[in-house]
Amino acid sequence: MVKINDNYLKLPGSYLFSTIGKKVREFSAQHPDKKIISLGIGDVTLPLVPEVIKALHGAVDEMAVKETFKGYSPDLGYEFLRSTIAEKEYRTRGVNIEIDEIFISDGAKSDSGNIQEIFDTDNKVAVCDPVYPVYVDSNAMAGRAGDYDPGTGRWSKLIYMPCTSENDFAPDLPKEDPDIIYLCFPNNPTGSAITKARLQEWVDYSNRIGAVIIYDAAYEAYISEDDIPHTIYECEGAKTCAIEIRSFSKSAGFTGTRLAFTVVPKELERGGVKLNSLWARRHGTKFNGTPYIIQAGGAAVYSEAGRAQTKEQIAYYMNNAGVIREGLTAAGYSVYGGVNAPYIWMRTPKNMTSWEFFDYLLNNANVVGTPGSGFGPNGEGYFRLTAFGTYENTLEAMERIRKL
Q: How far is CA 236 from the centre of its chain?
A: 24
Give residue number: closest CB to ligand MLT: 42
Pairing assessment for the beta strands 260-263 and 242-247 based on DSSP bridges: antiparallel
Q: Is 188 in the site for ligand MLT (CB under 6 A)?
A: yes
Distance, in Å, from the CA atom of 267 to the CA atom of 361, rounded to the nearest integer, reads 49
230 binds ligand MLT (CB under 6 A): no
Residue closer to ligand MLT, measured from CB, 82 or 250: 250
Q: Which is nearer to ligand MLT, 110 or 224 (CB)?
A: 110
Per-residue binder mask for ligand MLT (CB under 6 A), 312-351, x = binder: ----------------------------------------
| Binding-residue pattern over the window 66 to 95 for ligand MLT, x denoting contact by CB under 6 A | ------------------------------
Q: Is the CB of 292 or the CB of 388 nearer to ligand MLT?
A: 388
Closer CB to ligand MLT, residue 292 or residue 343?
343
CB closer to ligand MLT, 249 vs 309: 249
Residues in contact with ligand MLT, counted by CB under 6 A, come to a total of 5
Of 37-45, 86-94, 314-322, 334-342, which part binds ligand MLT (CB under 6 A)? 37-45
> Of the ranges 38-46, 52-60, 136-144, 322-330, which one interacts with ligand MLT (CB under 6 A)?
38-46
User: Of the listed pieces 40-48, 161-169, 204-212, 308-316, which binds ligand MLT according to CB under 6 A?
Assistant: 40-48
Q: Does position 42 bind ligand MLT by CB under 6 A?
A: yes
Tell me how far, at minimum, the Cβ of 188 lies from ligand MLT, in Å: 5
d(CA 129, CA 112): 17
Contact between 41 and ligand MLT (CB under 6 A)? yes
Q: Of 41-49, 92-100, 203-211, 351-359, which part binds ligand MLT (CB under 6 A)?
A: 41-49
Label each residue of the chain as H, E or C: CCCCCCHHHHCCCCCHHHHHHHHHHHHHHHCCCCCCEECCCCCCCCCCCHHHHHHHHHHHHHHCCCCCCCCCCCCCCCHHHHHHHHHHHHHHHCCCCCHHHEEEECCHHHHHHHHHHHCCCCCCEEEEECCCHHHHHHHHHCCCCCCEECCCCEECCCEEEECCHHHCCCCCCCCCCCCEEEEECCCCCCCCCCCHHHHHHHHHHHHHHCCEEEEECCCHHHCCCCCCCCCHHHCCCHHHCEEEEEECHHHHCCCCCCCEEEECCCCCEECCEEHHHHHHHHHHHHCCCCCHHHHHHHHHCCCHHHHHHHHHHHHHHHHHHHHHHHHHHHCCCCEEECCCCCEEEEECCCCCCHHHHHHHHHHHCCEECEEHHHHCHHHCCEEEEECCCCHHHHHHHHHHHHHC
Choose one: 19-27, 39-47, 220-228, 280-288; the region binding ligand MLT (CB under 6 A). Answer: 39-47
Give 43 or 62: the residue with its C-beta nearer to ligand MLT.
Answer: 43
Question: Please, what is the minimum distance in Å from the beta carbon of residue 16 to ligand MLT?
Answer: 8
Distance in angstroms (rounded) separating the CA atoms of residues 338 and 8 = 34
Considering the complex, state which of residue 95 and residue 260 has its C-beta at the smaller distance from ligand MLT. 260
Q: Do 344 and 338 contact (CB within 8 A), yes or no?
A: yes
Nearest to 93 by CA among 244, 249, 279, 315: 244
Which CB sits closer to ligand MLT, 182 or 292? 182
Q: Taking CB under 6 A as the rule, does residue 289 contact ligand MLT?
A: no
* Binder of ligand MLT out of 82, 109, 144, 325 (CB under 6 A): 109
Q: Which is nearer to ligand MLT, 51 or 111 (CB)?
A: 111
Instruction: Provide the minimum distance between the beta carbon of 339 and ligand MLT in the complex, in angstroms, as a whole number.
Output: 18
Q: How far is the CB of 287 from ligand MLT (least distance, A)?
A: 18
State the minimum distance, in angstroms, from the CB of residue 43 to ligand MLT.
Answer: 6
Q: ω into residue 186 within 30 of 0, thus cis?
A: yes
Binding residues for ligand MLT (CB under 6 A): 41-43, 109, 188
